[in-house]
Structure 1
Amino acid sequence: MSAVQSLINDVSQKTHALKTAQALYNRQLSPSFNTFDYINTNEVGLSRILAALLDPKGSHAQQENFLRLFVEHCLPVIYKSDNWQIFLNNLEKTEVFLEETTGKSNTQRRMDIYLRCQVGDDSYGICIENKPYAADQLDQMKDYAIELKNRKHKPWHLVYLNEDNDVPSEYSVDTTTLESWITSNQYSHLRFSDLIGWLKACQVECQNHSVSEFIAQLIKFIQKQFMGIQDMSEDNAILDIIKKNAATIDASIKVSNTVNRMKKELIAKLKIDLLAKYKKADYELDISYIGEGRRYEQIRLIIPGYDMGWVCFEFDNADFDRPILGIKFTSVEAAKACSYTEKMKMVLNTMLTNKKVNSSAQWPAYYYFDPQDWKGSSEAWLMINEGTMADKILGEMDVVFNTLKANGCFKKYQFENLV
C-alpha cells in the first residue's frame, strides 16, 4: 500500500472514530453548540464585541489588560514604537467608541471602532476598519486618515481587519498613500485569524470564568467562520497523524498539492452540469467568470434588456469559499442611482422567509448560500461530485430572479436620478 493511501486510510479511520465518540457522548459534549450562533455576527455585531473587549472600562472588568494584550499581539509596530510609549503607559485612560462619525473631515463616514487616549496635551488615536464581509468603499481608508489627522492626534494609526486581502483595495486608498502609511508606522493589516493569539492570551490573564468562556466561544466562531475549522479535536487528531513520521509528512504534502487541482476539476464539472441543466428562460446563463479560484468569481443570470446588473452566485473568498447569492449591480454608482434597490431587499426579505437577506454597496439584496463553508467542509464538493449542486444553484437563482421580476424590480432604468 502506498504512503498516500495509508495516510488517507488512517485519517479516515480516525475521523470516523471521533464521530462515533461524539455521537455516543453528544449530550455531554454538545459539540455543535456555540453562543455565537445566537449573537448578531454581522459587521456591526463583531465590531461591538471587539470594542467591548478592548474597552478598559468594559463590563468584562479586566481593566486595560485586554487592550494591552491586543497592542502587544496584534499591533507590534505600536508596541515597539517610542512614539507610543506614553500611550502604552496610560492605557487605562483610553476611550473606545463604536460607529464614530467622521465629523472633523466632513465626510460623514463611521469608524467601526475608534480608540482615543488623552494624556496631558498629547492625544493618541486608533481607527479599526472592520471588514469581515463587505467590500471597500471609495476613498474610505483615506477619509479615515484625514479624520485622525484633523482630530490632532499626536501619533495615529489605521488598522484594516479582514481575513483574505493583504491590503485595502485601491478603490479605498491608492498604493502610494498606503506605502507612506506603512513606512511611517501608521497602518497595520490584521486578519481575523491573527486575533486568536490575542484572545488566548486574554484567556490566560482573565480572572472571570464567564468572560473566559465567552472568549473561548469567540475563538471557536473565528476558527469556523474565517478559518474553515469545524472541529478542533478532529483537526488536532489529523495533525497528529500527519506529523507521525517522515512518510506521513511526505504523503500529506502530496495530498495537499492535489487538493486545488481536485477543486478546479470539480468546478469544471459543476460548469458542465450547469449548462446541461439550464433551461431556456427569461435570462441567459453565464459561467465565463468562474474556474480559477480567485475571489469574487461568479455565476451570472444575464437579463436581456437589463444592463444594470444580474442575478449572481459569487464566492466571497478566494479558493471557491463563502458563496453569496442575490442581485448584483455593475457598479456602486449604478446601485445608488437605481430607485429600486431598497425595494429589492424588501421583496426578497419578505418572500424568502428562510433566508437572512442583507445588502451592501453593490448588492441591493443577497444572502449567504448554504452550504457556506467550501474550505473546511466536504459537503459542497460531494454535492458537485454527485451532480446535485447545479440543481441547487440554478434553482435558487431562478427563485431570486422570478421573485424580483414578479414584483416589478426589473423595470427599465429611469434616468431621472441622474439629472
Structure 2
Amino acid sequence: MITSDLSMAIERYFTSIQSALQSSREVRKAYDPAIAFDFSVFDFIPTGENKISEVLAFFLNPSESHAQSDTFLRIFLNSLEQQRAQKPHDHVIRVTCEKVIENNRRIDLLIEFNSGYAIAIENKLLAADQLEQIADYSEHLGRAYNNNFLLIYLSPQGADPSVESISEIQLNALRSQGTFLAMSYMQIIEIVEQWKNACQAERVRWFLADFHQYLRHTITGEGPMGETGLLIERILRDADSVEVAFNTIVVGDKLKNTLCKELSKQLAHLCSNHDIEVKDLGASESNVSYEITFSNNEWTRNGYCIFFTIDKGFSGCSIGVRCLSDQAPKCKKLDPNIAPYKQWYNWKCLTRYESWGNDPATWKMVKNGEMAEYIFSEVVNYSQSVKL
C-alpha cells in the first residue's frame, strides 16, 4: 500500500527529475549549434554486430592505418589480464573477421599471435545463439591452437552463452582451463574510452569518440550530454529520492512488459482494417523478451506468418517470415545474404532500434503510438516483398 508520505516523495522525485531534464535540454539547445551533440559518423555507417567486429578488429591490429602501433592491442590485453599474450616476443600475425571454420561456422573476430596463441571473440549484440555454436568454436580452437586460446563471448550484459550453444559441463571445463571469458559491452565501452585517451592522432581520436558515443547509446541508452550523471546527482540529494529511484528500478521490467502489451493492442488496431490477425505471444522462447505475430487466411494457407520479436534482455528487435510447416513453399528473400534460422525463413534486425533495454526514446515511441506505426509499415512491406 502506498502511504501519503511515499506518494508525496514520488511526486517530488519526478518533479525534480523533470526539472533537471528540462534544464539539460535548454543547455543542449543553446550549445547545439557549436557542438552538434547528436552528430556521429555512425549515422552514415550501417551498424550492427558485423560492423562493430570490423571496427574492433581494425583497432586491435597494430598494422592498420590508425598508426598507433600496438597501443590499442596492449590496452585490450591488459584488460583481459592475459599475461602470456603480452610477452614482448608475442606479436600479432593476423587479425581476421568472419573466420570460416568447419561446417561453415564463422568466428566473428580472431586474433592470432606468433607464439601460437589465439583470441577469438563471438559478438552477440543482437543475434541469438545457434545450436552448439560455442561448443564447435571451442573444439576448433582447441585443435587449431593446441588448447592455447581464449574464447570471448561478448554480449550486452556479459551473460554466458545458452545451454543450446554449449553445455554447462563443457563451459565449466573451458573456464577451469582459462580458455573462456564472458565479457560485457560495458567493458568494451571502457576499453574504447582508454583507446581514445591514449590515441595521439586527432582524426582517429574523433572517430573513437563517435564509436564510444554510439556504443554507450546502443547499450545504455545514454545520450551525448551524459544525462545519467545529472540524474544520479539529483537522486542523491536526499534519502527519499534514493528510495523512490530504487522502487522505480524494481518496476522496470514490469513497465516494459506492460508497454509491450500496449504495443500489441496498438498493432491489433492498425491491422484490423487490413484483415491481419495479431497474436501476442509474450516471452515465447528463452531468447525472446516479447513476440508478436501477424497472419491472415492467405498467409496461413501458404504456410507462413510474419513475426516481430524483441530480443532477450530487450537488446534489439527483429522482423521476419516464419514457416509454419516443413511443406511451406519457398518465398522471395528480402536479403539474399541472410541465411534461414530455425523456422525463420527470412528475417532482419531492425537496427534503427537496437537499444530497447535502456533507450527512453524507444519506449516513448511505444507509448505515443509511433513504434506501432513503424512496425505496421514494416509488416506491410514484408508481406508485399515476399509475396505471401
Is this a same-fold pair by TM over 0.5?
Answer: yes
Correspondences of 1:15-414 after superposition (within 5 Å):
15-73=21-79, 75-76=80-81, 78-79=82-83, 84=84, 87-102=86-101, 106-119=102-115, 123-153=116-146, 155-164=148-157, 166-279=159-272, 283-290=276-283, 295-302=288-295, 303-307=299-303, 309-319=304-314, 322-329=316-323, 340=330, 343-346=332-335, 361=341, 362=344, 364-368=346-350, 373-386=355-368, 389-405=371-387, 410=388
Letter in 2 for 1:24: A
Matched-pair contact (CA < 8 Å) for 1:94–1:118? yes
**Distance change (3 Å), C-alpha of 1:385 and 1:200:** closer
Matched-pair contact (CA < 8 Å) for 1:315–1:322? yes
- Give the whole-Å Cα distance in 1 for the aligned partners of 2:240 and 2:25: 26
CA drift of 1:33 comes to 0.4
Give the secondary structure class of the aligned counterpart of 1:158.
strand
CA drift of 1:327 comes to 1.7
Give the secondary structure class of the aligned counterpart of 1:137.
coil
User: Any stretches of 5+ residues in structure 2 without a counterpart?
Assistant: 1-6
Give the secondary structure class of the aligned counterpart of 1:197.
helix
**Aligned residue among 8, 21, 28 for 2:14:** 8
Letter in 1 for 2:197: V
**Distance change (3 Å), C-alpha of 1:212 and 1:329:** farther
User: Any stretches of 5+ residues in structure 1 without a counterpart?
Assistant: 350-356, 411-419
- Give the whole-Å Cα distance in 1 for the aligned partners of 2:285 and 2:249: 17
- Give the whole-Å Cα distance in 1 for the aligned partners of 2:71 and 2:370: 50
Give the secondary structure class of the aligned counterpart of 1:304.
helix
Letter in 2 for 1:340: K
**Distance change (3 Å), C-alpha of 1:293 and 1:246:** farther
Task: Give percent identity, aligned residues only.
Answer: 22
- Give the whole-Å Cα distance in 2 for the aligned partners of 1:268 and 1:338: 30
- Give the whole-Å Cα distance in 1 for the aligned partners of 2:381 and 2:136: 39
Letter in 2 for 1:176: I
CA RMSD after TM alignment: 3.2
How many aligned positions are there? 377
**Distance change (3 Å), C-alpha of 1:132 and 1:387:** closer
CA drift of 1:50 comes to 0.5
Matched-pair contact (CA < 8 Å) for 1:68–1:88? no
Letter in 1 for 2:109: I
CA drift of 1:54 comes to 0.8
CA drift of 1:372 comes to 5.1
Q: Deviations over 1:207-229 (max 9, x none)?
A: 22222222211111111112222
Between 1:369-378 and 1:200-209, the stretch displaced more is 369-378
CA drift of 1:140 comes to 2.3
Matched-pair contact (CA < 8 Å) for 1:283–1:304? no
Between 1:234-243 and 1:139-148, the stretch displaced more is 139-148
Give the secondary structure class of the aligned counterpart of 2:242.
helix
- Give the whole-Å Cα distance in 2 for the aligned partners of 1:360 and 1:46: 22
Find the counterpart in structure 2 of residue 354 from structure 1.
Answer: none
- Give the whole-Å Cα distance in 1 for the aligned partners of 2:55 and 2:197: 19
